[in-house]
Structure 1
Amino acid sequence: MTSSVKQQVSEQEWQTRVDLAACYRAVAMFGWDDLVFTHISARVPGPEHHFLINPYGFMFEEITASSLVKIDLQGNKVMDSDYDINPAGFTIHSAVHEARDDAKCVLHLHTAAGIAVSASKQGLLPLSQQSLFPLSSLSYHDYEGVALNPDEKSRLVADLGETNFMILRNHGLLTCADTIEDAFVYMYFLECACQIQLKAQASGQELILIPSQILAGIQAQAKQVTRSAGGGLAWPGILRKLDRKNPGYEL
């Protein structure tokens, strides 16, 4: 199947497939997956609004470049595939992709730390250097139940605005970026900040918040701050680690 899919797509699409499959496996490697119930989508290079997403039912550690399913904004398959997708799972992703041309990759997770912080009224606090990256470009979206209602898309998009990090209340975390590697590294910082916050709060000690003037300065330079988060710098090392622990994503 690998050679068949590779022969049917452009070189640019194949590279996107390889990177997206690697992203799925990296999420599993870091322990952020939730069985088969979250998604990472990436836009296929070219004028068509086509996207790649996971075959529903596959564990993230099993995803390969050739098993990814190509779909349109309505979640319809636009290329023959042996696999189906979860249309409901694409509701959030399609909303972001349609509204934000710069959101080439949308990464949505249900980590325990992320959901715990999303259920906190205060949300993400400026407790660590790691938290400053998401806090520089962060939005919130209130929980409306399982994402099955198309009407929710407009509200989610309005809440997201131009931000790259979103906390979905009582639900999980989302990042979007112009590249797959940036979306992954954005999620690394957001998830890490959530874990640090929970540990700090669990200590029972009085917490020291990063001064508001530092946070305000970073928020004023949000795009510069997030673009310097190092996706392109960290990604090759992530791939090397993945090659050691779970090779084969490029098949």
Structure 2
Amino acid sequence: MTRPTAMPEAEWQARCDLAALYRLIAYYRMTDLIDTHITLRVPGPEGHFLINRYGVAFEKMRASDLVRIDLNGQVVEADYNHGPVNAAGFVIHSAIHAARPDLHCIIHTHTAAGMAVAAQRDGLLPLTQHALKFYGRLAYHTYEGIALSLDERERLVSDLGRYKAMILRNHGLLAAGGSVAEAFHEIYFLERACQAQIQAMSAGVALNFPSEEVCRHTAEQFGRDGIDGIIDLAWRAALSLIEEQRMQWCS
């Protein structure tokens, strides 16, 4: 399917970018059957965002499978976007999109390593360089059950604060960014940090922790000037791994 004539080019490009991100999350084995969700703000003043049509495998996501909804969960352009959306996905993502206009793309995952760290009292430990990217920059949200209650949105936003990444305790991971590329970079590093932590702890030997000074210094290095260019290069490199699918995801 090509871009509908009535759809702005900017929205179609956003759909293609988000569909590609869904496929990359599948490529890196961060899916959970049809659950978990990724959203992207639609360019424009309306405050709408795109979310997956519930039931489509991430490996097969297309631009035309994405559903445009408003902050109240109402489907926009129902004649084009069809099918249900994940109710818990709407609750989590609508809260953040409404409160954080700087975060355009939000990713939520249920990986084994992410859930394992989310179940640990101390959360993400400063054990690796990947983990230090989030040192002093990681939020936590207490588990309240499946996120179906609109009342939880206020607490989610309050817990996230000014950060871009959060561990949903006993649940999974959440990462966001001002672009698809940045959100992917955040979830990739957070997931790898969790994987490394679980493997290091499973060895049953004493763990080595960097000093507080080194931890803070490394976190600041991840925010240095020029990092946006590196994030963009990483995104394009990741896309090259699924390049042969481009005609499929942008359809």
Q: Provide the TM-score with structure 1 as the length reference.
A: 0.93
1:75 deviation in Å?
A: 1.3
Kindly tell me: are residues 200 and 228 of structure 1, through their superposed partners in 2, closer, same or farther at Cα, counting changes over 3 Å?
Answer: farther
1:180 deviation in Å?
A: 0.7
1:229 deviation in Å?
A: 8.5
Specify every segment of 5 or more residues in structure 2 that has no aligned partner in the other structure, as ranges: none
CA offsets 1:3-56 (integer angstroms, 9 cap, x no match)? 3x5323211111111110000000001110001110000000111101000000
Deviates more, 1:104-113 or 1:133-142: 133-142
Kindly tell me: are residues 19 and 45 of structure 1, through their superposed partners in 2, closer, same or farther at Cα, counting changes over 3 Å?
Answer: same
Given that 2:135 and 2:216 are in contact with CA atoms closer than 8 Å, whether structure 1 keeps it comes out as no
Q: Which residue of 2 aligns with 1:127?
A: 127
Given that 1:106 and 1:183 are in contact with CA atoms closer than 8 Å, whether structure 2 keeps it comes out as yes
Cα distance in 1 between the residues matched to 2:66 and 2:226: 28
Cα distance in 1 between the residues matched to 2:214 and 2:244: 39
Equivalent residue runs for 1:184-199 within 5 Å: 184-199=184-199
Q: Which residue of 1 aligns with 2:205?
A: 205
Residue 5 of structure 2 aligns to a residue whose secondary structure is helix
Cα distance in 2 between the residues matched to 1:220 and 1:199: 26
Kindly tell me: are residues 244 and 203 of structure 1, through their superposed partners in 2, closer, same or farther at Cα, counting changes over 3 Å?
Answer: farther
Given that 2:139 and 2:160 are in contact with CA atoms closer than 8 Å, whether structure 1 keeps it comes out as yes
Kindly tell me: are residues 170 and 232 of structure 1, through their superposed partners in 2, closer, same or farther at Cα, counting changes over 3 Å?
Answer: same
Q: Which residue of 2 aligns with 1:9?
A: 7
Matched, 1:79 2:66: no
Q: Which residue of 2 aligns with 1:58?
A: 56
Given that 2:49 and 2:70 are in contact with CA atoms closer than 8 Å, whether structure 1 keeps it comes out as yes
Given that 1:133 and 1:225 are in contact with CA atoms closer than 8 Å, whether structure 2 keeps it comes out as no
Kindly tell me: are residues 98 and 117 of structure 1, through their superposed partners in 2, closer, same or farther at Cα, counting changes over 3 Å?
Answer: same
Q: Which residue of 1 aligns with 2:140?
A: 140
Cα distance in 2 between the residues matched to 1:44 and 1:159: 25
Cα distance in 1 between the residues matched to 2:230 and 2:121: 30
Q: How many residues align?
A: 249
Given that 2:134 and 2:219 are in contact with CA atoms closer than 8 Å, whether structure 1 keeps it comes out as no
State the percentage of identical aligned residues.
45
Given that 1:186 and 1:229 are in contact with CA atoms closer than 8 Å, whether structure 2 keeps it comes out as no
CA offsets 1:62-87 (integer angstroms, 9 cap, x no match)? 11011111110111111122322123
Q: Provide the TM-score with structure 2 as the length reference.
A: 0.93
Q: Which residue of 2 aligns with 1:26?
A: 24
Residue 184 of structure 1 aligns to a residue whose secondary structure is helix
Equivalent residue runs for 1:153-168 within 5 Å: 153-168=153-168
Matched, 1:112 2:119: no
1:223 deviation in Å?
A: 4.9
Specify every segment of 5 or more residues in structure 1 that has no aligned partner in the other structure, as ranges: none
Cα distance in 1 between the residues matched to 2:181 and 2:41: 13
Residue 73 of structure 2 aligns to a residue whose secondary structure is coil
CA offsets 1:95-153 (integer angstroms, 9 cap, x no match)? 00000001100100000100000000010011111111122421000000000111111
Given that 2:16 and 2:63 are in contact with CA atoms closer than 8 Å, whether structure 1 keeps it comes out as yes
Residue 40 of structure 1 aligns to a residue whose secondary structure is strand
